[in-house]
Structure 1
């Protein structure tokens, strides 16, 4: 038998999922395969929505945006818009035939403004013209008169006004108040984190083609095709069966296309129905940044009691997320921030309360980590605070408080942390990164260097994997085996550059024992796999990989039974391997075998389905098992800070990340590296700025700085912590999309460590996120010239002496 090409295989040796005679390739180790579209990406041949050929009579959409943060619309004069060159149609809220509110979970997201506006950049009307340029120019000619209303900007103002989009929620365990009061040491403080722009390469875009009998084909750059299908159908008032949402690929998503891709698709659909012509809506970058939501800014407050050795006795944490003007996904995002307020640490007595604040900005939405990063920030700050108060290395305080020491395994939402790899993983990274030796060298350097100061930090990540909305933890797939032996697979997951299609193709190839080039993954379409969940929550491969496996095994089992009956052999003598079907030890080419099966009328098509088991959460009791398992990791970052300017450089990063049995090590490594850099950007340079009227000022690449190649650490070591996931995931892998993002926290902690050296490591500086050079310089000057006194607006920190 000839060897199966390297690109076709993934880790399956001794796979517990497979029976002894399952027919799966029993290959040792695991191998990487290139991204299925890599050659198209680098040659510019990958087809995105804007690359599709223009259709006959195709129109282009544009919209008019509000210039007020909160106002009543007194009058709208669109005559000049209608009379502009090339304009074919103009619509307002009154022209929408069906639902006018496209809120994904709760109402509050009007497709077009209805009598009032709630943020600067809210769509008020839309226009269709014969070109993109003419549509955009026409939209600028509207005359809208507003009557300003009171506006709320920022979490502090929302909390003062009790302005919320959803009720608050509390998780608790033990008696936090008593534990804090009785503890020999206390720390309290406040901090904030800013939002983050998704900054995908491909902006929001949709193309809608009207078909016969009232049907619509919607090409959408969306992480949630079924939601686009549903909302388009509701907006134009037709059954869902009349609408097909189609996603081949996105030029990035990061959560920004989970819910907010729906609006351009719905506007294009209304215009397409009104005109009877195809309509494409490509949102300009600046308009995209102004009109769509970001990562949620948060305000955090905390009070902590701790023992003499730094062990936490009790914590009281308050997190308040800035939802923007509507609920969108804020309820679940703040929940996840609350779930992750422990990060990797056991909270014996804890109360975590979360607020969902309504403000007059664009509705904030999903972003990689979905609230988890915001929740983790506060406990990582607490670890550093306790370390400074007790005179210890911050790593030692972190190690003492990790889950898994004795019976310290239950979270503040009463889920047991099982299969804990934190101690082994951190121990291995501590050694491989030479943390202790470097800590000594850095301390000595700081003692002798009056201007440049170095900082070092090791921070862990424990991230729960599953949608916290239980019903979303499901996926479907559709597999076809053709008579030439080629295989086509369709599933509910979407491809946004993360390599999901490649991983699913590898799974399919492995199930049938064929090479990867025999498998074709087709566009995600709602007419092939219905009722799909969004590709989010790091669950794309977990859910869709399992669904694809289920579809393949149904077909393979039919083929196995046929082979056993046709050739009069036991089923355990039929094995699929090396592009062959081995029947009683005799190989037959897979293509030849499926031709025989076809002639014998064996079905070679099947759907597949998977739903995550064992997960649940009771909001009334604030307890349950919201996560199927935890993915862990840790990073060590070293920085150098210039105390005269506040500028800093990340010198070295070491990462060890938990991937289970990796489906594709090359893709997983890319996700870890990219996630870390994106997290580092949020922690350091990506600053959103609004003026006093609620207008976004950082609305283009010149005013909003994502990390560039020059920001990459010159030493960047990434290793995979490979240990089979004990839970029954696909081939015992672990999700790798979101958890690496939070590894970027080590950069922020290292910056604060460097600045803390100015106080002899006695005080933690107040440096909110992002830690821009201005904020770093301000913290430096406070320690240099003002001792440990903190301005009130930066938050207060009180440390009691440890007896």
Structure 2
């Protein structure tokens, strides 16, 4: 049997476990092009390709659907409509409202009416254009204002109530009102939506999908095909990005591919072209946020009354949880003291919006951060001081939904970042610069993030893992999480390697499959490592307990004398290479596999009362942003970014910093350049890379400083780490706040202009005109 190491002297042990910056497990594959995605799979001569015929109307009755020309088109093998679906028609993830194919009525532009399977991708795309369809238009609801006026909601409103906000606002020394419209965001993952399905000899189906939720794929495919769950296997090796867009919206593609595969007994691939993907799949919700608030002379909030209206689209999808999450984070890092936060879920005849990194959290935080800036301008204070005054801290640590903040990270973190970024000196310098510079103005802002970690749907806070140790000492771990580039597989690899103190190369993470680990939760809510890491560790601990008992009996020692150290096992006075010990255990018929499980403790939330403890803990961070704007055009540049982010005890500092950098840039793009626009007839205008601008390397500031805040998590998480997937996105709010700060400087910081998002140069220019009007008003006797 080959030893793990020859001798300690010849091959010194190099730890690659938890706490080390091990490179992403697929990094080399990514940069060399060897990482295999679904569209890279070899194409069987029998492979069919799918395309769908889409509605051109936002809301209409179908009066004619003639598909004769489609069926006769070259390469077409099969055409289906809703009546051809053998099982469930609706593929909504939580509530109904998402038919796989439309019935008598279409409810958004782009809704699939029929589907085609053809011998090539091109043939399928050409065929769907031949349909002859007539409509009887109905009156659509297209905007949040229309929905509010018509009381058109996908689900009832929800409320958090803390104290008596009406009385608190009325009796406060100062009152303020405000409103901001925060547009949504296109996911723009590099790999678009795609699934491939194969029928098996037993009448079942194997689906490979680019999805964040394999179990939901399994469930919905089974329901559409009218099969039991054990006849469906869903598998995911990796995604080329997800960002929430593949949590629920991957399911229709998997169901369509599986349906054709069963009908034709052939493999079927359904890949959406980029434009179809942008038109047919949901985005981050638009939100219209409005509020009134009362505060004292120090800028401390005494009461807030807030309405958050989310544009959900034509169906509920995941909007219940998304608007709830916006409500949970409407206070961000600040104590409202007394509050009413109401969330409404507006139903519109547009594509059903869905999860996006941060869920609804970023949209709620925008209300809080706008309010902080407005208070600062009203009192002629530095916005940072107003933010520090209102932070959750001992004595003011109760959220509007009744959870107490117990780990007060942000007061120290923000002051440390202010010192490290030289905020006070730069603030004075920028104020002086703005007094003397006529055409260029600078802005500076330092904003916090406090993001709750856990699924707000309690039952999703669970995970499983399957660990197998082979007789050569190598290990294979399968778990319920999916890899979308965020480094989950790498962290799981390190967690298992650390448990046995062996090199990470001894551990392989297999693709996620529903026949290995069942009933998985989606990889979302920033909880992928928290949940699956603990499940993997549970599996490790089960095997370690088993091996300790064996060693005690075999070597006649106490259980606690078994130690794992740098690739060796010490059992009493015996020292064996790890693989030798594993082989010994196998020869003595000791099981070397275990199924691990974890469920998050302590969390609860009562929807009826709008109170509870929905989060296991909070992840925190802060960003300082400096920008410059041209007051004649509204054009701007991000000059410098400083970030200090709380990840607890980092499992992998390199991956965590990469997540922080990527999340920040994505958040900056959401708030500055990425503009979702619909015309008056419900057609998406920003429907391709040509008219939707994501950030590029040119937009990233030359000076971009990122550091990790060194403090262990107080909650009992995996190695006392904290989640890092979603919270960094909201650090991008600092850029928006800095732009508003630069614009406000044209009024000597006396006026807070309205700056809806994305803060494109056009909107910055309009905000400058708002300030110019304020100045004229001030000059009028």
| TM-score, length basis structure 1 | 0.95
The answer to whether residue 276 in structure 2 is matched with residue 287 in structure 1 is: yes
**Residues in 1 aligned to 2:89 and 2:479: alpha-carbon distance in whole angstroms:** 30
Instruction: Tell me what 2:615 maps to.
Output: 627
Q: Judge conservation of contact 2:15–2:502 (CA < 8 Å) in 1.
A: no
Distance 1:708 1:763, change over 3 A: same
Instruction: Tell me what 2:58 maps to.
Output: 69
Distance 1:7 1:205, change over 3 A: farther
**Residues in 2 aligned to 1:531 and 1:163: alpha-carbon distance in whole angstroms:** 34
**Residues in 2 aligned to 1:310 and 1:328: alpha-carbon distance in whole angstroms:** 39
**Residues in 1 aligned to 2:766 and 2:411: alpha-carbon distance in whole angstroms:** 36
Q: Summarize the alignment of residues 98-177 of structure 1 with structure 2, pairs less than 5 Å apart.
A: 98-177=87-166
Instruction: Tell me what 1:13 maps to.
Output: none
Instruction: Tell me what 1:448 maps to.
Output: 436
**Residues in 2 aligned to 1:551 and 1:139: alpha-carbon distance in whole angstroms:** 50
**Residues in 2 aligned to 1:192 and 1:597: alpha-carbon distance in whole angstroms:** 63
Q: 2:461 aligns with which of 456, 465, 473?
A: 473
**Residues in 2 aligned to 1:788 and 1:57: alpha-carbon distance in whole angstroms:** 72
The answer to whether residue 649 in structure 2 is matched with residue 661 in structure 1 is: yes
Instruction: Tell me what 1:615 maps to.
Output: 603
The answer to whether residue 766 in structure 2 is matched with residue 766 in structure 1 is: no
Q: Judge conservation of contact 2:274–2:688 (CA < 8 Å) in 1.
A: yes
Q: Judge conservation of contact 2:79–2:114 (CA < 8 Å) in 1.
A: yes
How far the C-alpha of 1:785 sits from its partner, in A, is 4.1
Q: Summarize the alignment of residues 678-693 of structure 1 with structure 2, pairs less than 5 Å apart.
A: 678-693=666-681
Q: 1:324 aligns with which of 313, 324, 340?
A: 313
**Residues in 2 aligned to 1:594 and 1:112: alpha-carbon distance in whole angstroms:** 53
How far the C-alpha of 1:559 sits from its partner, in A, is 1.0
Instruction: Tell me what 1:186 maps to.
Output: 175
Q: Judge conservation of contact 1:7–1:33 (CA < 8 Å) in 2.
A: no
The answer to whether residue 476 in structure 2 is matched with residue 488 in structure 1 is: yes
| TM-score, length basis structure 2 | 0.98
**Residues in 2 aligned to 1:95 and 1:373: alpha-carbon distance in whole angstroms:** 41
Q: Judge conservation of contact 2:619–2:727 (CA < 8 Å) in 1.
A: yes
How far the C-alpha of 1:7 sits from its partner, in A, is 5.3
How far the C-alpha of 1:31 sits from its partner, in A, is 1.4
Instruction: Tell me what 2:698 maps to.
Output: 710
**Residues in 2 aligned to 1:729 and 1:167: alpha-carbon distance in whole angstroms:** 35
How far the C-alpha of 1:618 sits from its partner, in A, is 0.3
Q: Summarize the alignment of residues 156-555 of structure 1 with structure 2, pairs less than 5 Å apart.
A: 156-404=145-393, 406-555=394-543
Instruction: Tell me what 1:800 maps to.
Output: none
Please give the per-residue CA displacement for 1:615-648, whole angstroms capped at 9, x wherever unaligned: 0000111110000000000000000010011000
Please give the per-residue CA displacement for 1:125-173, whole angstroms capped at 9, x wherever unaligned: 1000000000111011111110000001110110001000000011010
Q: Judge conservation of contact 1:360–1:694 (CA < 8 Å) in 2.
A: yes
Secondary structure of 2:463 counterpart: strand
Secondary structure of 1:576 counterpart: strand
**Residues in 2 aligned to 1:338 and 1:788: alpha-carbon distance in whole angstroms:** 38
Secondary structure of 1:8 counterpart: coil
Distance 1:380 1:84, change over 3 A: same
Q: Judge conservation of contact 2:747–2:774 (CA < 8 Å) in 1.
A: no
The answer to whether residue 592 in structure 2 is matched with residue 604 in structure 1 is: yes
How far the C-alpha of 1:587 sits from its partner, in A, is 2.1
Instruction: Tell me what 1:15 maps to.
Output: none
Distance 1:677 1:301, change over 3 A: same
**Residues in 2 aligned to 1:300 and 1:568: alpha-carbon distance in whole angstroms:** 68
**Residues in 2 aligned to 1:309 and 1:785: alpha-carbon distance in whole angstroms:** 28
Instruction: Tell me what 1:8 maps to.
Output: 16
**Residues in 2 aligned to 1:260 and 1:469: alpha-carbon distance in whole angstroms:** 19
**Residues in 1 aligned to 2:676 and 2:234: alpha-carbon distance in whole angstroms:** 33
Q: Judge conservation of contact 1:483–1:598 (CA < 8 Å) in 2.
A: yes
**Residues in 1 aligned to 2:725 and 2:481: alpha-carbon distance in whole angstroms:** 13
How far the C-alpha of 1:782 sits from its partner, in A, is 2.2
Instruction: Tell me what 1:52 maps to.
Output: 41
**Residues in 2 aligned to 1:750 and 1:114: alpha-carbon distance in whole angstroms:** 49
Secondary structure of 2:202 counterpart: helix
Secondary structure of 1:769 counterpart: coil
Distance 1:4 1:763, change over 3 A: farther
Instruction: Tell me what 2:3 maps to.
Output: none
Please give the per-residue CA displacement for 1:507-546, whole angstroms capped at 9, x wherever unaligned: 0001111111110100000000000000000000000000
Secondary structure of 1:213 counterpart: coil
How far the C-alpha of 1:578 sits from its partner, in A, is 1.1
Distance 1:410 1:271, change over 3 A: same
**Residues in 2 aligned to 1:786 and 1:723: alpha-carbon distance in whole angstroms:** 45
**Residues in 1 aligned to 2:633 and 2:66: alpha-carbon distance in whole angstroms:** 51
How far the C-alpha of 1:55 sits from its partner, in A, is 2.2
Q: Judge conservation of contact 1:465–1:537 (CA < 8 Å) in 2.
A: yes
Please give the per-residue CA displacement for 1:764-791, whole angstroms capped at 9, x wherever unaligned: 111101101100001112222454889x
Q: How many residues align?
A: 770
How far the C-alpha of 1:54 sits from its partner, in A, is 1.0
How far the C-alpha of 1:4 sits from its partner, in A, is 6.5
How far the C-alpha of 1:301 sits from its partner, in A, is 0.6
**Residues in 2 aligned to 1:475 and 1:745: alpha-carbon distance in whole angstroms:** 32
**Residues in 2 aligned to 1:138 and 1:417: alpha-carbon distance in whole angstroms:** 57
**Residues in 1 aligned to 2:310 and 2:258: alpha-carbon distance in whole angstroms:** 33
Q: Judge conservation of contact 2:194–2:272 (CA < 8 Å) in 1.
A: yes
Secondary structure of 2:330 counterpart: helix
Instruction: Tell me what 1:752 maps to.
Output: 740
Instruction: Tell me what 2:581 maps to.
Output: 593
Q: Judge conservation of contact 1:194–1:687 (CA < 8 Å) in 2.
A: yes
Instruction: Tell me what 1:640 maps to.
Output: 628
Distance 1:299 1:55, change over 3 A: same
Instruction: Tell me what 1:798 maps to.
Output: none
Q: Judge conservation of contact 1:387–1:394 (CA < 8 Å) in 2.
A: yes
**Residues in 2 aligned to 1:667 and 1:783: alpha-carbon distance in whole angstroms:** 42
Instruction: Tell me what 1:732 maps to.
Output: 720
Comparing 267-276 with 629-638, greater Cα deviation is found at: 267-276
Secondary structure of 1:212 counterpart: coil
Query: Mind listing any 5+ residue stretches in structure 2 that lack a counterpart?
Result: 1-7
